[in-house]
Amino acid sequence: MADYDVIVIGSGPGGYVCAIRCAQLGLKTACVEGRETLGGTCLNIGCIPSKALLHASHQLHEAEHNFEKMGLKVAAPKVDWKAMLAYKDDVIGQNTKGIEFLFKKNKIDWLKGWGAIPEAGKVKVGDDVHSAKHVVIASGSEPSSLPGIEIDEETVVTSTGALELGKIPKKLVVIGAGVIGLELGSVYARLGAEVTVIEYLDGITPGMDAEVAKQFQKILSKQGLKFVLGAAVQGVETLKTKAKVTYKLRKDDSEHTIDADTVLVSTGRRPFTDGLGLADLGVKMTDRGQIETDGHYATSVKGVYAIGDAIAGPMLAHKAEDEGMAVAEILAGQAGHVNYDVIPGVIYTHPEVASVGKTEEQLKEAGHAYKAGKFSFMGNGRAKANFAADGFVKILADSKTDRVLGAHIIGPMAGDLIHEICVAMEFGAAAEDIARTCHAHPTYSEAVREAALACGDGPIHS
């Protein structure tokens, strides 16, 4: 008889949610984790600590730029970097201990160590081998780099090192204008660093709605971030007291160098499957190094499943969570399902940027007739009162049926506002359904309603 019904490898958002859902559904469950704390990349060195630093640095910005406008007279704030990092670490501790409590509450065994799968139905952790009817791989991802760039996590860092620098750099070069680079770049810009972002493509945030991306870059530029676009990084030379980044502009092949105290390499992430023994096990992989799965998250080896960053799809914590719940329900004999057309994405800068569904560019490319309803936060009373009137809401709807196809928000609390659209899309709502729903005044959410009204006869406050 197997030791467990399910063993989950990895305790990140996908893994721990999967383990908890399995336990809730009556399956005897264990979770393998080699870190000293649960929660994976997200809680330990990713989503949670970065949001703590984003929050702290935004409060600094408010004190420096907006307090006096509101009649709040205070001395110029000083940054205690060690205390800020301690606050960040405390936030991590609260969250990781919370997962440990949930494991105990749901009677989930934490198998401490790094896991491997010597054969189907077996998981080796250290010297111990455990048996299970089902094994779920939720091993997550790791930062990827560029050829010829050596990461030391001190001068040349990934997001991991950027969250625990010994001091605030005077000059920070960010390689890659994606979500991670822009979030951490904005943190250090608020803290006084001179931040330059180098991006290979001709625009920031690849894949984002082009109108939003253009506005986003303008706003970040006003906040002090400098952008070098269409540039291919050739290498990074680490010297005694600084680093030199060399890049070529694609438009004329001219070569340039820029000095930095710290270089943040944020060129994406790749699946982390090292040490699992997948090749010997016979698990099929994709050309991109992801674990190949079917529509029910099953791999090519019977009894072995995979979810999250280790498989195809957007590398998002909430996508992994949904897949964790879905595969748990499938293993319990239920019908687990994830709607990949309604997975929001959020950038937690200020203002925030959030999106769900199709972009205008995707709809045009597909030849899908649509209409766009747009509303600026300049017309929102709450946003103006809170010095948060930059940005807009844009809703895309089918030109005939009015069904919502996507939405893109840049503005205050965009990461929360987007979920109204997610629910609407999940239930196949029309833009008119949102427009006819009463929204409390004064709230940021009124901008969403106004954008929905703009898909019809027009907004009221514009």
Give catalytic residue positions.
441
- The reply to whether 317 sits in an annotated binding site is yes
Side-chain-side CA neighbours of residue 409 (13 Å): 35
Is 268 marked as binding a ligand? yes
Q: How many CB atoms are located within 10 Å of the residue 284 CB?
A: 11
SS3 32: strand
Question: Is residue 418 a contact partner of residue 394, using CB atoms and an 8 Å limit?
Answer: no
- Do residues 285 and 239 make contact, with C-beta atoms less than 8 angstroms apart? no
- Is 51 annotated in some ligand binding site? yes
DSSP characters over 309-378: GGSSS---HHHHHHHHHHHHHHHTTS-----TTS--EEE-SSSEEEEEE--HHHHHHHT--EEEEEEEGG
The response to whether 53 counts as a known ligand-binding position is no
Q: Give whole-number Cα distances, 289 to 269, 279, 285, 434, in Å.
A: 11, 11, 6, 41
Task: Tell me if 178 is assigned to a ligand binding site.
Answer: yes
- CA-CA-CA-CA torsion sign (418, 419, 424, 428): positive
Residue 157 and residue 142: Cα distance in Å, rounded?
13
199 is in an annotated binding site: yes
In angstroms, the CA 105 to CA 251 distance is 58
Residue 117, Cβ neighbours under 10 Å: how many? 23
> What one-character-per-residue DSSP string does 387-442 give?
T----EEEEEEETTT-BEEEEEEEETTHHHHHHHHHHHHHTT-BHHHHHTS---SS
309 a known binding residue?
yes
Pairwise CA distance, residues 281 & 279, whole Å: 5
Q: Would you say 177 is a known binding-site residue?
A: yes
- Confirm whether residue 183 is marked as ligand binding: yes
Per the structure block, which two tokens stand in for 219?
């706003």
Positions at the binding site for FAD: 51, 115, 309, 315-318
Positions at the binding site for NAD(+): 176-183, 199, 268
Positions at the binding site: 51, 115, 176-183, 199, 268, 309, 315-318
